[in-house]
Chains A and B, each alone.
Chain A
Amino acid sequence: MKIIVCIKRVPDSESRIAKAKDGASVDTQGLKFVLNPYDEYAVEGALRLKEAAGDGSVTVMTLGGEESKETLRTALAMGADQAVLLKGQPSVDGLGTAQKLAGALEGREYDLLLFGKQAIDDDNLQVPAMVAELLGVPCATVVVELQVEGKVVTATREIEGGHEIVEFELPGVVAAQKGLNEPRYPSLKGIMQAKKKPLEEVDVGDAESHLEVIEVMNPPGRSAGVIVGEGADAVPELVRRLREEAKVI
C-alpha cells in the first residue's frame, strides 16, 4: 500500500502568539516550531498500516519553506520512507494550499492520503476535505479509528455526542483526530537514518489566498475577576452574583 501523509510545520502549542508590526500577521520570531500534533497521529497511522501490511511505502509531503525540511526529517525519523518538500508558502485559507497539494498529488501514485484533522496555527480544518474534493476521491475527517481491509476503508469519526462510521474504497483521504493512536517518538537510530532518506524538492510557488487578513487582534481582554470567598461558605454569595450580577443562571 502506498501512503502519502501531508504534514505541516507549526508553532509549538505552548507558544505565546503576538501580532507582527504590520498588524496583519503573526510574529513568528523566536517561536519553537514542531510537527503539527494532529499530523503525528497521521504519520503514526501510516506507519502502522504499512507495518501491518508488511509492505508498501510511506511518503511525507509538505508545502512550506526551506525550514520545513526539519519537519519532514522528524517524520522520516519516526519511520517514513521518503519526503517531498513542495517549496512555496501556504495560503491564509485552506483552498490555495489544497490546490497546491492536489496538484502535486495528481502526478503521484497513492492508495491512501493521510492528514491531520487541523493545523494548530491557522485552525482551518479545511485542507483534507478540500484535497479530496479537488482530486475527486472520498474522505473521512476527524477520524479516531481506522481499518483498511483490502481496498475497503472503515473510519470512525467524531460527531457531537457520538460517532459516525464512514466506509469507502481506496484511493481516499483520512484526516486523523487525537485518539487514533499513540504516536511514537523518533528513536536515535531513526534520527540517524532520516538524514540519509530521500528528500525531494519541487518548486511550486506560493499558494493563492482566497481570504485576506485585514487585522490580527488580541482575544477579547479578560482580566481577573473577584475571589468571592473561601470554602463552601462562599457559595451562597457566588450564586447570588451569578444570578443578579452576571445573570447567567
Chain B
Amino acid sequence: MSVLAFAEQRAGAVRDAALETLTVGRQLADALGVELVAVLVGPPGLAVEAGKLGSYGADRVLTGLADAFAEYSPEGYTELVAKAAREKAAKAVVFAASAQGKDLAPRVAARLKAGLASDVTQVGIEDGRVVAVRPAYAGKVFLRLAFKSAPAMLSVRPRAYKAAEAPRDAQVEELTVDAGAAARTKVQTAAEEKRERPDVAEAEIIVAGGRGLGGPESWKLLEGLADALGPGAGLGASRAVVDAGWRPHSEQVGQTGKVVAPPLYFAIGVSGAIQHLAGMQTAGCIVAVNKDAEAPIFKIADYGVVGDLFEIVPRLTEEIRKARSQP
C-alpha cells in the first residue's frame, strides 16, 4: 500500500508545488504507515531528479519516461498515474492544484472512479480516514470532507503547505505505458512568454494593485516594490484593473480570478470588494495602502497605511530594500 504524490515538472525541473505535494504525501504516508511513492512523468533523461524527490520524503520514485511525455499529455499522463495508483495500491493520490494538476487530477479520478477534493488547504487522517478541508464559494466558506470512495484523490493549493526536507534514499522504478496510443491531444507550451516573476497563484509575496493606480503606466511602481521584496514576489490585480485592460487576466485575484494564500499580500489602491476579498482573505499577512480610511480592505488588513499610494509606495520600496539588505 502507498500514498502517491504526483511530482510535476516543467522543462526538467521539479516544481515547488510538487515538493509541497511530497510534504503532504509524507504526512499522510506516516499517519497511514505506508510508503510514499513519487510519480515523475517526462521525457527520457529526467531521472536525475529522483535524488531531489528522495530528499523531500519519497521512499520510491516511479518514473514514466517517454518521448511523448516531453510536453504535457492529458491522456498519457492519466494512463500512467492511474496505473501507478493501481499497482501501488494507493490509499491517497496527491496532486498540486496547479494548472497541470487541475487538468490531470479530475481525469485520473474519473479513470479510477474515485472522488476528488480540489484545492485542498489542509488534510489529515482521522480514525484511519482521509479528511480534507477546502474552500468553496470562493473561500466564503470552508468544507471539511470525508471520502466515500478510494483512493482519496486530492489536489493541494500551492503555498498551503511549506515543502519540508525529509531525506531518504529513494528507490527508482520504471513504469511504462503505451503513451502514443492513448494520446488524442497535442499540447505545446506557447513560446511567447518569458517568466520573470512567479505567477500570482504561486508567489510567496503578492503585490496587488487596484484602480487607485490610475493607469497601467503606474505599474512600474509596483514592479519596483516587488523587485525590492525579492524573487518570490509576484504581481496581482483587481478585476477593475483587468477589465480596464491595464493588466492581464492571469493576474486577477478574486472570485473570478485566482484564489491565493501567500504569506504576505500587499493591496495597493484596492478598495476590497467582497469578490476581491474572497480571493485573498486567507493570506498570512495583509498590508493595505489606500487613501480612503473607510475602504473595506482595512477591515481585514493586518497593517494599513492611509494616504496617497504615489507617495507611500516609493518610500515603502526604499525602506524594504534597506531592511532586506541588513542582516
Binding between chains A and B: yes
Interface residues of A (CB under 8 A from B): 11, 13-19, 26, 37-38, 92-95, 98, 120-130, 132-134, 137-142, 144, 156-169, 172, 177-179, 209-220, 222-232, 234-236, 238-239, 241-243, 246, 248-249
- B102 and A248 contact, CB distance less than 8 A: no
> Lowest 6 CB-CB distances: which A-B pairs, in order?
A210-B115, A160-B199, A225-B302, A133-B110, A159-B99, A162-B193
B236 contacts partner chain A, Cβ-Cβ < 8 Å: no
Instruction: Pick the contact of A228: B139, B147, B293, B303 (CB < 8 A).
Output: B303
Quick one: which of A15, A129, A141 has the most chain B CB within 10 A?
Answer: A129
Stretch at the interface among B18-26, B40-48, B60-68, B313-321: B313-321
- B308 and A213 contact, CB distance less than 8 A: no
Q: Which B282-296 residues have a C-beta within 8 angstroms of A?
A: 282, 284-287, 293
Give the distance to chain B from A140, nearest Cβ to Cβ, in Å: 7
- A239 and B319 contact, CB distance less than 8 A: yes
Give the distance to chain A from B274, nearest Cβ to Cβ, in Å: 6
- A249 and B305 contact, CB distance less than 8 A: no
**Known pairs A138-B75, A211-B145. 20 more at Cβ < 8 A?**
A11-B137, A15-B137, A26-B136, A26-B141, A94-B118, A122-B136, A126-B116, A130-B106, A133-B110, A161-B250, A163-B189, A164-B189, A166-B187, A210-B149, A214-B144, A217-B144, A219-B142, A224-B299, A242-B264, A248-B205
Give the distance to chain B from A116, nearest Cβ to Cβ, in Å: 11
User: Which residue of chain A lies nearest to B304 when distances are taken between CB atoms in the complex?
Assistant: A227
CB neighbours of B305 from chain A (8 A): 227-231, 234-235, 238
CB neighbours of A210 from chain B (8 A): 114-116, 147-149
- A249 and B311 contact, CB distance less than 8 A: no
Instruction: Pick the contact of A160: B99, B184, B303 (CB < 8 A).
Output: B99
Task: Determine the distance from Cα of A26 to Cα of B117 in the docked complex, in whole angstroms.
Answer: 18
Quick one: which of A15, A132, A133, A211 has the most chain B CB within 10 A?
Answer: A211
Known: A142-B99, A166-B186. A232 touches B315 (CB 8 A): yes
Known: A129-B103, A211-B146. A231 touches B312 (CB 8 A): yes
B51 contacts partner chain A, Cβ-Cβ < 8 Å: no
CB neighbours of A26 from chain B (8 A): 136-137, 141
- B117 and A220 contact, CB distance less than 8 A: no
22 pairs of residues in contact across A and B, judged by CB atoms under 8 Å: A94-B109, A123-B118, A125-B106, A130-B110, A138-B185, A139-B107, A160-B98, A160-B198, A160-B202, A161-B193, A165-B187, A166-B186, A169-B184, A214-B146, A220-B142, A222-B281, A224-B299, A224-B300, A225-B303, A228-B305, A235-B305, A238-B305
- B140 and A16 contact, CB distance less than 8 A: yes
Known: A125-B102, A179-B249, A235-B312. A93 touches B139 (CB 8 A): no
Task: Determine the distance from Cα of A177 to Cα of B249 in the docked complex, in whole angstroms.
Answer: 10
Task: Determine the distance from Cα of A243 to Cα of B86 in the docked complex, in whole angstroms.
Answer: 48
- B140 and A17 contact, CB distance less than 8 A: yes
CB neighbours of A134 from chain B (8 A): 110
Task: Determine the distance from Cα of A236 to Cα of B323 in the docked complex, in whole angstroms.
Answer: 10
Interface residues of B (CB under 8 A from A): 72, 74-75, 78, 98-100, 102-103, 105-107, 109-111, 113-119, 131, 133, 135-149, 184-190, 192-193, 195, 197-199, 201-202, 205, 229, 249-250, 252, 255-257, 259, 263-264, 274-275, 281-282, 284-287, 293, 298-308, 311-312, 314-316, 319-320, 323-324
Task: Determine the distance from Cα of A133 to Cα of B284 in the docked complex, in whole angstroms.
Answer: 37
Give the distance to chain A from B223, nearest Cβ to Cβ, in Å: 15
Instruction: Pick the contact of A213: B109, B144, B315 (CB < 8 A).
Output: B144
Give the distance to chain B from A117, nearest Cβ to Cβ, in Å: 9
Give the distance to chain A from B87, nearest Cβ to Cβ, in Å: 19
Task: Determine the distance from Cα of A16 to Cα of B72 in the docked complex, in whole angstroms.
Answer: 39
Instruction: Pick the contact of A137: B116, B184, B312 (CB < 8 A).
Output: B184
Give the distance to chain B from A31, nearest Cβ to Cβ, in Å: 10
Give the distance to chain B from A118, nearest Cβ to Cβ, in Å: 9
- B324 and A249 contact, CB distance less than 8 A: yes
- A231 and B307 contact, CB distance less than 8 A: yes
Known: A132-B107, A212-B148, A222-B281. A232 touches B311 (CB 8 A): yes
- A235 and B319 contact, CB distance less than 8 A: yes
User: Which residue of chain A lies nearest to B283 when distances are taken between CB atoms in the complex?
Assistant: A222
CB neighbours of B259 from chain A (8 A): 123
- A93 and B116 contact, CB distance less than 8 A: yes
Instruction: Pick the contact of A249: B102, B147, B195, B323 (CB < 8 A).
Output: B323
Give the distance to chain B from A61, nearest Cβ to Cβ, in Å: 18
CB neighbours of B302 from chain A (8 A): 225-226, 246
- A142 and B135 contact, CB distance less than 8 A: no
User: Which residue of chain B lies nearest to A175 when distances are taken between CB atoms in the complex?
Assistant: B103
User: Which residue of chain A lies nearest to B233 when distances are taken between CB atoms in the complex?
Assistant: A249
CB neighbours of A167 from chain B (8 A): 185-188
Instruction: Pick the contact of A92: B133, B145, B193, B275 (CB < 8 A).
Output: B145
